[in-house]
Amino acid sequence: MADTKVVLLTGGSAGIGLELAILLMEKGVRVYSASRRLSEVRKASSGSGEIIPVQMDVNVESDIQAVISRILKENSRLDAVVCNAGNGIAGSIEDCNESETRFQLETNFFGAVKTIQACLPVFRKQGGGKIMATSSIAAITPIPYQAFYSAGKAALSIFMQALAIETKPFGIQCCTVLPGDTKTEFTNTRKYTIKSQSADSAYTKRMKKAVQTMEKDEKNGMEAKYVATKMAKQLLRKRMKAVVVPGIGYKVIYSIYNLFPLSFRLWVISKIY
Does 73 participate in catalysis according to the annotation? no
Phi, psi of 245 (to 5 degrees): -120, 100
Say how far apart CA 71 and CA 65 lie, in whole Å.
10
Please give the span between the terminal C-alpha atoms of the chain, in angstroms, as a whole number. Answer: 51
Among the listed residues 5, 130, 153, 230, the single catalytic one is 153
Eight-class DSSP state of 150 = H
Residue 135 neighbours by CB distance under 10 Å: 28
Does 153 participate in catalysis according to the annotation? yes
Among the listed residues 32, 145, 149, 273, the single catalytic one is 149
Phi, psi of 55 (to 5 degrees): -85, 120
Among the listed residues 13, 35, 92, 135, the single catalytic one is 135
Does 135 participate in catalysis according to the annotation? yes
Residue 48 neighbours by CB distance under 10 Å: 14
Query: Which contiguous run of DSSP H or E holds residue 105?
Result: helix 98-105
Say how far apart CA 224 and CA 237 lie, in whole Å.
20
Residues with catalytic annotation?
135, 149, 153
